[in-house]
Structure 1
């Protein structure tokens, strides 16, 4: 066979392959739209045909807002991919994430995976999760929180003192400083070693890489869905590749230092290391749990604190009411404690409304429907379907909340939350710490930290938002919110 004949044969083979591939793709698209078991569920046809629209908006960091638009158009249940249903209803929380005999397992493609492969409390199978959660529950108990108050006070005062020194130099990026405090605090509470952000007035390398790490995870999930993980290094931005492995190594080194030096301080590792052999974690589990607890407990709190600062400063009546409540309740900074701030109803309402408007976890935590299928929201869903409640849509849906885009702390106050126009709010739709047996262990610590920090800072300083930052909330979401600087002028409060 000469070269001409060979080339002609190759062209024919390529042509046949192309035809078959095209026919298969068309068949798949048509099947997904018109014959798929989920065809009866509402949603845009393009999204039903392929996951490409979902991935496109995820890549752009706008999936959260696009899913909200879809829920506003189609209702509480929307088909957002060929084999995925998104929910924004209270009963979906209970059915999907609540206590069940046959737990809806995490979606094997879109679940979080640790870089080392070891299971942590966020990704573990049911048996491992129960063992790890029982072990860690002591570290997040009410008694443990009371023991940790000196540490909370230490970093709160350190933040306030640093801001007192810095505020004379001009406007401050309050997002950065709240992040410094959150990471230093959780580092100390996790393994007795802070990151030194407050001391240096700058992000530690580990802290600075958190956003890139979250984005890397999002890209990995998409490559895994399409079965092209081998291509990830060519298409994932270079600044993102390897961030998770790098951060886990840093956490492992920190854990090892903590184990070698020992400590009487009851940090999270104290409870892990003191477990008996039957319940104990392996060294690999200890490393990934310390890493995950550190990230989850700091980034989410920093996000909520930053959001609360933005909303109170862009709503002057809210700011004035907060200042009034905090300063009237305390005659001196020494009186500001976990117990005293727990009694501040308006502050707690501001924090709750912030978590609704700006949930630190604004994504879907996907699960797979188990064998036999399940009825969700009154409709039967076949086994193998990916399902989940989309946090952002559930909290922002006009079907769930009165004026959902308005920041209204009074919707959570005892005297007004059950009265019109808030009586019809479906408050169970909002679950910022998730729901059921895998809900966030650290929610009490997170809320206590937020109350204490804001009480101190609003007692010591008068705040003013700098011009040009009212569009701060227009952020991308890739795992975590891509937060922008928020410059504020702080001046010592006059008594």
Structure 2
């Protein structure tokens, strides 16, 4: 090709253009690298949380916690960090975790007079948990939370729980019947106790929340609603990580149709709505007492909107079921791992009750070794393993003597708190005697154990959960001898996505002599 002026001009233009493009890419790359470098320096040395101990990788980026959450191991990660750095650790650029027991009061407590709590409740995930746009107990602002809590409180009072005792015993006895039928059909039959506990707790709450069970015990299979609940918890936990990366969140929403993202949530909401509709059509119950008898007794002015009814019913079907079944499963596994404790508890139960007809809420609540075992099971296998995040108020806040500037996140994680050697001697050992005055554990900080949280947003149904767990475990150990199957060894080594992802707990049962 001849070197005409036109060809030379074209060649020069291409050379300049390519050079400009390369320079632009280099400039952009330099700017991006510079931004992240400067941000890292700021977070390490000038950020308001830079004074707190913790690994540099966690101070610089949310990535370590995000990856750990995605893998279902964030509870283990946080516990390990506390074992390395102490009772206060910076686990993310804008978040500090505490395992000092006083953190419960400082973060979640009632606060000063007229204040709703130690720190304001502020959900971090911008994605609304309920598809109808209304609120529920767990996410409501303080005024709505107080209003709704006042409505539901009577349904979970000691008086109401005593009225509901026949309902509890109905399903406790049905559980024992189904287990007995299984081993009568095949004495070597292996039974998944996780399933059986889930069937029982969901049937109980279904009856309490909607006036009818889900019939999981009688059918020996999961209701489709329950299956959707399990899937939604894991999905929501993982997608919740995007709150730290707005651009990723926008890209995800642009690429993935919202109908796909919302499918499980809408399905769960519709299940709840259908059942609430059926229950409301019945009006006040004359056959027994359930949650809606108390709700419907409230005036329209101070009562719940229909959407709030649907949302809270949906909440009860998660918070009042899966957590209880989880503790029962973990408690059973711990007993099977520790024959001495199993024998002591079984002896106490069988010595206290001649037959299942003698069992009651009051009598099971009066068993000292039973109560010690529950506390120790909650310590080593708490259904909730992480802490509820709170955002420090505009004026800042003080947690365990440490000033937290405004707008930053603090939490008290259950698993890390309960397995901390600074709170409990031999923290990974299952020893119920630590709750019965054993001098070996005199130095234990027993107030560190707060499985149902503290303050104005503590668990509304904690008394019901205790009664339910005691009745179920009493009935099981009074009637059966359990043995752990080989495939369920090391059962407690699990992933957690807000709640524990439980594997089958396979056992063989024999009717006790």
Contact 2:334 2:430 in 1 (8 A): yes
Q: Which of 113, 135, 147 in structure 2 is aligned with 1:131?
A: 147
SS of residue paired to 2:440: coil
Once the 2 structures are TM-superposed, how far is the Cα of residue 53 of structure 1 from its aligned partner? 0.5
SS of residue paired to 1:464: strand
Change (3 A) 1:425 1:261: same
Greater alpha carbon shift after TM alignment, 113-122 vs 323-332: 113-122
List per-residue Cα deviations over 1:232-290 (Å, max 9, x = no partner).
46689x99863222211111111111112334142112222321123211111111111
Contact 1:211 1:480 in 2 (8 A): no
Q: Is 1:230 paired with 2:254? A: no
Structure 2 residue runs without a partner (length 5+): 1-8
Change (3 A) 1:346 1:23: same
Change (3 A) 1:113 1:435: farther
Q: Which of 179, 194, 208 in structure 1 is aligned with 2:198?
A: 179
Q: Which of 39, 45, 49 in structure 1 is aligned with 2:56?
A: 45
Once the 2 structures are TM-superposed, how far is the Cα of residue 484 of structure 1 from its aligned partner? 0.4
Matched with 2:120 is 105
Structure 1 residue runs without a partner (length 5+): none
Change (3 A) 1:247 1:6: farther
Contact 1:88 1:394 in 2 (8 A): yes
Q: Is 1:449 paired with 2:468? A: yes
Q: What is the aligned-residue RMSD (CA, Å)?
A: 2.1
List per-residue Cα deviations over 1:79-110 (Å, max 9, x = no partner).
00111000111111101100124441234424
**Where do residues 338-353 of structure 1 align in structure 2 (5 Å cutoff)?**
338-353=361-376
Greater alpha carbon shift after TM alignment, 472-481 vs 20-29: 20-29
Once the 2 structures are TM-superposed, how far is the Cα of residue 11 of structure 1 from its aligned partner? 5.0
Greater C-alpha radius of gyration: 2
Q: Is 1:438 paired with 2:449? A: no
Matched with 2:399 is 376
CA distance in 2, matches of 1:79, 1:478: 21
**Where do residues 189-268 of structure 1 align in structure 2 (5 Å cutoff)?**
189-227=208-246, 228-232=248-252, 242-264=263-285, 265-268=288-291
Contact 1:197 1:203 in 2 (8 A): yes
Matched with 2:409 is 386
Length-normalised TM-score, structure 2: 0.91
Q: Which of 136, 161, 182 in structure 2 is aligned with 1:120?
A: 136
SS of residue paired to 1:242: helix
Once the 2 structures are TM-superposed, how far is the Cα of residue 8 of structure 1 from its aligned partner? 6.0
List per-residue Cα deviations over 1:392-432 (Å, max 9, x = no partner).
1111100000100000111112xx2xx42211101111110
Q: Which of 458, 465, 472 in structure 1 is aligned with 2:484?
A: 465
Change (3 A) 1:256 1:231: farther
Contact 2:384 2:414 in 1 (8 A): yes
Contact 2:284 2:292 in 1 (8 A): no
Matched with 1:96 is 107
Count of aligned residue pairs for this structure pair: 489
Greater alpha carbon shift after TM alignment, 433-442 vs 217-226: 217-226
SS of residue paired to 2:102: helix
Contact 1:84 1:387 in 2 (8 A): yes
List per-residue Cα deviations over 1:430-454 (Å, max 9, x = no partner).
1100111100010100010011011
Q: Which of 314, 321, 324 in structure 1 is aligned with 2:337?
A: 314
Contact 1:88 1:390 in 2 (8 A): yes
**Where do residues 13-162 of structure 1 align in structure 2 (5 Å cutoff)?**
13-101=24-112, 102=115, 103=117, 104-110=119-125, 113-116=128-131, 117-162=133-178
Once the 2 structures are TM-superposed, how far is the Cα of residue 459 of structure 1 from its aligned partner? 1.0
Matched with 1:286 is 309
CA distance in 1, matches of 2:333, 2:143: 41
Contact 1:110 1:366 in 2 (8 A): no
CA distance in 2, matches of 1:193, 1:433: 27
Q: Is 1:479 paired with 2:490? A: no
Matched with 2:5 is none
Contact 2:126 2:243 in 1 (8 A): no
CA distance in 2, matches of 1:14, 1:107: 41
CA distance in 2, matches of 1:359, 1:409: 15
Greater alpha carbon shift after TM alignment, 375-384 vs 137-146: 375-384
Matched with 1:396 is 419
SS of residue paired to 1:421: helix
